Structures are given as C-alpha cells and as structure tokens.
Amino acid sequence: MATPSDTPSPSPAGTTLTLLSNADEALLRTVDALSPEELAKPTDLPGWSRAHVVAHVALNGEALERVLTGRRQGRPTTMYDSQQARDADIETLAGGDARELRDRLFAATHRFSEAVRATTAWEGTFERTPGGQLVPVVAVPVMRLREVEIHHADLGSGYSHADWSPEFAVQLLDSVAGRSTPEPFVARAPDLDLEWGFGEGDDRPVVVGDATALAWWITGRGTGEGLSCDTGALPTIEGW
C-alpha cells in the first residue's frame, strides 16, 4: 500500500490547476442556474443558506487573489482583516441581491485565475488573519480547489462528492493527512491503493472505502456512507 509524499512541490502542479479550472466551470454553471428563491434555501451547514455558501466561495477567491497579488507587488497581506470581518462580509453578501452575489463569484473566479497565472514565485508563507495561522503560498491553488469542490457539493443542487474525481479526492486527503484528530486512524482507499494516517499510534483503526467517500467524510460531512472500519464504528472526526 503506497503512502503519498508529505513534501510540497516548489510550484503548483499542473494537475491541480486543471482540476481547479474544471471545478470552477462546474460551480459557475450550478450557481448561474439557481434562482433567488433557490439561493435562499438552507444547506446542511449550520446557519448557512446556499447564498451563504456562494458568498463564502466568492470572498475566499477574493482573499486568495489578494494574497497572490500583494506578494507579487511587494506588499504581503493577509487573507482576511479579521475573522469577524470575514464572517460579517459573508452575511452582508449573502443577504444582498442575488445578481450581485453571482457577479462577485464570477469576478472572483476570474481574478483568482489571473493571479495564479501571473504568479511565478511560490515560496514563503502568509497569514490567514493578522497574527494567525501561517499558510504556505504554494498551497493556495489546492486550498482554492478544496473550497470550490467541497462547497459546490454543499449546495445540494445536483452535484455531490460522488461527482468528484479521484485526483481531487487524493489532493484533498494529501493536504490534510497527518493532522491530529479526536481519534487517530488510518484511511485506506483500495480503489487507488493508497492510505493516509491521522494522529499517532501503532494500532490505529483502519477506515476503508473509495477515495471520494473518504474525502467527503474527512471533512466532517455525511455519515460515512460507503465506509467501513475494522473496529466496527467509524472514528470521531471534526467538521470543517
């Protein structure tokens, strides 16, 4: 059973950028087809309507574009001014006009793509908020890909994790492997002959299933459909 490498590449892989381009197109088609009434419907994310999800994805794109553009212009910046400002901006955009919401998402998607194409130096880190978590710059495209794919499925509009490609599932699992979890375990995907470790320990439970099902569950979504564990019950994980 192979184990993915934890060593980041010096620049975003072409596969990531191709997956992101495809994911962007699919999300934009879905959002463009939603009426204001459909955007107002709730999702499985506590307190968030579809409009909240779309607003978050739009503002995340703007934030990551700001990071890349700022670094390229010699004025490093954070993603968000504060967690409170980020949350308030989502509420404001989600509660506004549906056309403006779609326009912001389309514009953010385009501007982020342009910023990625213009970026040639991917070394270093940036802060999510002032004094907050440090994030490698090279991780930005994968971060954006996760936001687009996961939240597209969160919309509950005909697109689900079952539509994810195995390549994206691997990138998602690679990006979170090794993190501490409430209970340590190993995630094993026989369909790809890969496994990922979470937490420490020699006798960790083994969770088995297709990579896409593992990737969805690892975000704290669903009930573990399609997965099994050698101890009987799936380990406890935290939602994103």
Which residue in 104, 115, 24 sits closest to 65, CA to CA?
A: 115
Task: Read off the DSSP letter of residue 7.
Answer: P
Instruction: Report the first-to-last Cα separation within the chain, whole angstroms.
Output: 28
Rounded CA separation 127/78 (Å):
5
Q: What is the pLDDT of residue 5?
A: 41
* Tokens 């090794």, residue located: 178
Q: Which residues of the chain have pLDDT under 70?
A: 1-13
Q: What pLDDT is attached to residue 181?
A: 87
pLDDT reported for residue 142: 95
Determine contact, residues 131/3, Cβ cutoff 8 Å.
no
What pLDDT, on a 0 to 100 scale, did the predictor assign at position 10? 55
Output the pLDDT for position 11. 65
Domains of the chain with bracketed CATH:
14-159 (1.20.120.450), 166-229 (3.30.1050.20)
Q: Is 57 helix (H, G, I), strand (E, B) or coil?
A: helix
How many Å is the Cα radius of gyration of the chain? 18
pLDDT for res 7? 44
Q: How far apart are CA 50 and CA 44, in angstroms?
A: 10
**Mean of pLDDT over the chain:** 93
Three-state SS across 128-153?
A: CCCCCCEEEHHHHHHHHHHHHHHHHH
Is the Cα torsion angle 181, 145, 114, 156 positive or negative in sign? negative
Helices and strands of the chain, counted as H and E runs: 8, 6
pLDDT at 2 (0 to 100): 45
**Confidence (pLDDT) at 3:** 42
Could you tell me if 80 and 63 are in contact, meaning their C-beta atoms sit under 8 angstroms apart? yes
**How many percent of the chain have pLDDT more than 90?**
87
> Which residue carries 């564990």 as its tokens?
229
Q: Give the torsion sign (CA, 65, 81, 135, 176).
A: negative
Partnered with residue 135 across adjacent β-strands are 126
